Amino acid sequence: MKIGIIGAGNLGKAIIDGLISKNMLFSVSDRFEKSYRGISILDNNKEVAEKSDIIILTVKPSDLDSLLSEIKEATGKKTVISFAAGVKLSYYEKRTDAKLVRAMTNLAVRECSGFIMYKCSRCNASDKEKIQEIFSMLGVATETKEEALLDASTAMSGSGIAYLVKIFQCFIDNAAKSGFLGDAAKDMVLQTVIGATALLKKDRAQDIISKVASKGGTTEKGLLVMKNSNIEGLLEKVIEMTLLKCRNIGDQYE
């Protein structure tokens, strides 16, 4: 199974990092990058498509039209996977005869801890097994039959990495202001995040909160500030705006 990656931007490099850790072999092309982690990057997209069985596109939606035209003859009945936000499968179906996968993931694929949701078109059972195998190397992968969920996944998981890290960084900054020196602030917050995640895998969120927030205690005081600030409403708006942007992008590419 030969893999080709077209586009060596942030997501492309994250996928490269993840696949390298699994000892996978692949070829890469990009307009600007010449090498990455000892891998020579080609400037010929068609060449990468020709030598690959599965072609992964990590380019911006605005680059898709020219790229698909460039590699159309080389893709044939191969499998093309695209991570372009918002762009529907129908767009690709009009421009290539290849087997198609529209996918969404996040930067954590770099650490093989990503979440990958995908939907297939023209793929048989064997194709899907290979796709699932590749994605599972990079994290948790799930196929969906509802394409609209890919937009929701973009907002919750793809962009969600940035939103969560922004919140974590606020805790780290405040820990530093409170007197934690060096990496101690970051270490404490990250371990707290790991602990919260471990608890949330087994217990309901409200049960955890209730156990931490004893009557008249410190946590109750902080939660009151969060309630009065309508943090749920703020985060809901963040997700809503991200989802709307994703759908607007999709409407531009038909």
Strands 114-121 and 139-143: parallel
Q: Which residues pair with 81 in a beta bridge?
A: 56, 101
% of the chain exceeding 70 in pLDDT: 100
Q: How does pLDDT run across 212-226, given as a tens digit for each residue? A: 999 999 999 999 999
Specify the residue for token string 């990590």.
58
Could you give the CA distance from residue 49 to residue 76 in angstroms, rounded to a whole number? 10
> What number is the average pLDDT over the span 97-122?
98
Task: Quick: pLDDT tens for 38-88.
Answer: 999 999 999 999 999 999 999 999 999 999 999 999 999 999 999 999 999
- In this predicted structure, the answer to whether residue 148 has a pLDDT above a threshold of 90 is yes
pLDDT at 247: 96
Domain spanning 160-250, CATH architecture:
Orthogonal Bundle (1.10)
State the average pLDDT over residues 143-171: 97
pLDDT of residue 25: 87
Q: Within 13 Å, how many C-alpha atoms sit on residue 226's CB side?
A: 10
Domain spans of the chain, in order of start: 3-145, 160-250
Q: What is the mean pLDDT of the chain?
A: 97
Check residue 26 and give its pLDDT.
Answer: 93
Q: List the one residue out of 94, 150, 95, 90 whose CA is nearest residue 119.
A: 150
pLDDT digits (tens, 9 = 90+) for 75-105: 999 999 999 999 999 999 999 999 999 999 9
- 10, pLDDT greater than 90: yes
Q: What integer pLDDT is reported at residue 41 of this predicted model?
A: 98
The pLDDT value recorded for residue 210 is 97
pLDDT in tens, 158-211: 999 999 999 999 999 999 999 999 999 999 999 999 999 999 999 999 999 999
Tokens of 253: 């590419």
- Indicate the class that CATH gives domain 3-145: alpha beta
Sorting pLDDT into bands at 50, 70 and 90, what band is 254? confident
Query: Looking at this protein, which amino acid is placed at residue 48?
Result: V
